[in-house]
Amino acid sequence: MHKNLSKLLFYYPATMLKGEPIAFLLNDYRRNQWVGQEELGKLQLSRFKAILSYAYRYSDFYRKLYDGAGIVPEAIKSLDDLRNIPTVSKLDLINSLGEMSVDRGRFIRSSKTTGGSTGQPVTLYKNPMALARERCATARAYEWAGLSVGEPQLRFWGVPHSVSGKASASITDLIANRKRVSAFDLTPESLNQYYHEALLFKPGFIYGYVSVIEIFARHILDNGLPPISSVKSVITTSEILTNKSRKVISKAFGVSVYNEYGCGEVGSIAHECEQGGMHVMSDNVLLEIEKDDSGAGEIIVTDFYNHSTPLIRYRLGDYASLSDARCGCGRGFPLLESIHGRAYDVLQMPSGKRVHPEAVIYVFEGIQSKTSAFEQFQVVQKSQDQILVRIIPNKNWSEDILDMLILGLKRDLSSDISYKVDIVDEIYREKSGKLRLVKCEM
């Protein structure tokens, strides 16, 4: 479908009905990217103080947290004062969702469960305006890649199994003008099918996991297939984009590759511009780095607009550093660099099939959304036919949930694999500081 038809007939009307006035917010977002450092700092301080005061007034969790730490929202006078405010963790979100969330607007909020890059599946709520602003920041960044709202998209992502899930995904894909293909079925036959479907669909851009798009790109190059002529750019997400991967993808499609960084809890955090700078979406989020001796450190983020489950100084579990340099594009947003974490391995099945790690994460997300039975997990492939699962359980864990997990893994990975589940108290990070959620040790 032509991008303008999609935008005017489906995307804008559908989002407006959900309380997301994206069309009326976009121009403000376009202006914000060019403001200077001083003005940006004032904007961030104002928005931080607003969400801090809101959370203190309406969230039992934050009121107890701040009272215990002697924090008075009205006393925050500068961004330097933030270091005195306690951080919150994924474990806080898992264990205190009800107390952390706000009852106001609960009838129009939406919920989301995400596995995240640290293996701690979390559920939270988002209000329509938070979703609208997240989408606006993403739409603005896609303009840097030469794309506009309504642009047809070939999306390498998860494909739901249930009838209701498939129906919901089909409606969402229609509204977003995208064709979804499975990121978990990567045989030569399926890759060839995706290529021919793309020729018919004529996507303006390709979006998805780095490793999957690279596999698709190598298939195109290895088989001497011409680039998909309608594609203007490729946007990668969820994994580290190496220079090697970027070169392979760019060569196969004949266009530039743009990376994005975000998380399910917050959404869009940083996007790459046409000059290669990874800009933080500083009008939506406040991003801090808790530095170690190397200058890098854990990412701490505040979402300015989530009034359903406020996330204030929230630890993501990913590691990065901020650059003091100014990007050649002239935008005022700070630059994120050297993002660590999200180190995933593609698994190898006995049949020869390659399975993207998000297929594993989908199984755990599905179980967690229904049961909230564990705090963290890790999956390690020891051999072609043996996978070890480490689980940090909570009080909801049971043998029935263990059986549900094994059935899910056999369904989505392979029934020819032996799955061993170890109940543990801690899952250790690599020497680099990364917590590798899905590992292949073959």
Summarize pLDDT for 154-207 with one digit per residue, the tens.
999 887 777 888 888 899 999 999 999 988 788 899 999 999 999 999 999 999
Torsion-angle region of residue 69: left (phi > 0), alpha (psi -120 to 50) or beta?
A: alpha
Confidence at residue 185, expressed as pLDDT on a 0 to 100 scale: 83
Q: For 126-178, where are the alpha helices, taking DSSP H only?
A: 128-144, 163-176
CA dihedral 102, 104, 108, 109 (to 10 degrees): -10
Beta-strand pair 153-157/205-209:
parallel
Torsion-angle region of residue 105: left (phi > 0), alpha (psi -120 to 50) or beta?
A: left
Distance of alpha carbon 151 from the chain centroid? 20
Longest dimension (CA), the chain: 65
* Structure confidence by residue, pLDDT tens digits, 227-262: 999 999 999 988 778 888 899 999 999 999 999 999
315 strand-pairing partners: 300
CA neighbor of 295 nearest in space, from 328, 324, 269, 326 = 324
Instruction: Assign 122 to helix, strand or coil.
Output: strand
Instruction: Assign 60 to helix, strand or coil.
Output: helix
- Alpha-carbon distance of 268 to 126, in angstroms, equals 14
Instruction: Assign 69 to helix, strand or coil.
Output: helix
DSSP-derived letter for residue 204 is S
Distance of alpha carbon 30 from the chain centroid? 22
- Alpha-carbon distance of 332 to 326, in angstroms, equals 8
Residue with tokens 């018919």: 200
N-to-C CA span, the chain: 44
pTM: 0.80
Query: Could you tell me if 224 and 201 are in contact, meaning their C-beta atoms sit under 8 angstroms apart?
Result: no
* Structure confidence by residue, pLDDT tens digits, 377-417: 899 999 989 999 999 999 999 999 999 999 999 998 999 99
132 pLDDT exceeds 60? yes
The residue count of the chain comes to 442
- Alpha-carbon distance of 199 to 253, in angstroms, equals 12
- Domains annotated for the chain, with CATH where assigned, are 347-440 (3.30.300.30)
